[in-house]
A and B are shown apart, each in its own frame.
Chain A
Amino acid sequence: MVKPKYTIAVTGLNNTDNPGPGVPVIRGLRESDTFDVRIIGLAYENLEPGIYMPNTADKIYQIPYPSAGGEAFIKKIEYIHSCEKLDCIIPNFDAELYTFMKNEKKLAQMGIKTFLPSIKQFEERHKANLPSFGKKYNINVPKSIAVTNISDLSNINDKFDFPVLVKGKFYDAYIVYNLEQLQYNFNKIASKWGVPVIIQEYIQGTEVNVVALGDGKGNTIGAVPMRKQYITDKGKAWGGITLDDEKMLEITRNLIKKTRWRGGMELEMIKTEDNKYFMIEINPRIPAWVYLANGAGQNLPEALVNLAMGINVEPYKTYKTGIMFIRYSYDLIGNISQFEKLNINGEL
């Protein structure tokens, strides 16, 4: 059988110490057994490493920030589509997902496939909505509230004991031990990611994560649990190892079944001393460590594209445990002329 060749656009090429999932997603796609790819990298900024990495994107376009609004975004995608004839787009930033979901129909009309959660699924798992999400789906979650105004923090003692976690709507999380630190970090997060800022009970335990893919009908197409072995000061995994943890898989399958989750997701949980699991975050997209799943035998980016293309995908049943990933940094050599081209033309 001849393999089809898809043109797939991918965002999140910021392979930094706070990495986006773009580059590992591309690696998965390039290793696909079922199709060949031409990769179009979509970049917001001019120094995202994935722009310059060899064997990564075949072509790069700059796209406007989600904060510029849906209209500017669609215009640029239309332009890129007219040059490249895209088959599929895989967005990889939380902050851009809303814009993609809102424009899912428009993209489909243009002939561009996506495989995204619905706005309802996206909204209800928002950090700010976690308590009601936990109640609805019967999952343990830490106590949390969404705060829009710093003056509302002054009576926080009535509701929480320190330490607490302060989290941005899309990114960033800090653990704070007193009101001053809380207010300081509130401002820091609010100025970067807007409000609300989430205040969350701190739960002691080990952080464990699952990368998973739901088919939108309640089936789990793939799921791999992992424990972070080393965490950077940004709270990102710098090394991790796949786990044999049936309980985590059960929580994942149950959640996907009840929510009929469509697309990639990352579940962040705390496993306490007494073996309880608390869901602390549900990220509505593939995480940056997804390549570990490849290593363990589940090519989730490939499966996601096949689902997007309307192809029936058999769920992965197994994965290897004890597989590790270790991130490393590496200095690429570039030239100012590449930088010039990208900045003047918006493509490379």
Chain B
Amino acid sequence: MRLKKNIAISETGFIFNPSTGDSFTLNPIGIEILSFIENEKKYEEISDAILEKYDVDTITFEKNYYDFIQMLKNNHLLENE
């Protein structure tokens, strides 16, 4: 799973997709996860890092994570694989 190449993410959590002209905002944890994805981390690595840092259980995070990924797909921010 990869983020589309030309997508610009600013540290404020603002995303601009120049190929569609859409822009988005992220919450802080969304920024964190997106930067993991940008660095091509696998789900297991991301999950470990988040569970280590935040007060959350595996199942809740897994559900939220895949929901988030679905939203990235819906918004055409991921490369089709």
Contact = CB atoms under 8 A, between A and B. Distances in A.
Do A and B have CB atoms closer than 8 angstroms in the complex? yes
Contacts of A336: 16, 23
A339 interface: yes
A343 B12 CA distance: 10
A2 to B, nearest CB: 42
A344 B25 CA distance: 8
Interface residues of A, number: 5
Contacts of A344: 12-14, 25
Contacts, number: 15
Contacts of A343: 14, 23, 25
Contacts of B25: 343-344
Interface in A309-340: 336, 339-340
**Can you list the 3 inter-chain pairs with the closest CB atoms, starting with the nearest?**
A340-B14, A344-B12, A344-B14
Given A339-B23, A343-B23, A344-B14, 12 more contacts: A336-B16, A336-B23, A340-B10, A340-B12, A340-B14, A340-B16, A340-B23, A343-B14, A343-B25, A344-B12, A344-B13, A344-B25
Contacts of B16: 336, 340
A344 B9 CA distance: 13
Size category of the binding interface on chain B: under 10
Instruction: Label chain A's interface by main secondary structure.
Output: helix
Interface of B: 10, 12-14, 16, 23, 25
Nearest to A336: B16
Contacts of B12: 340, 344
A344 B23 CA distance: 11
A340 B14 CA distance: 6
Interface string A137-162: 00000000000000000000000000
Nearest to B12: A344
Nearest to A340: B14
Contacts of B13: 344
Contacts of B14: 340, 343-344
Nearest to B8: A336
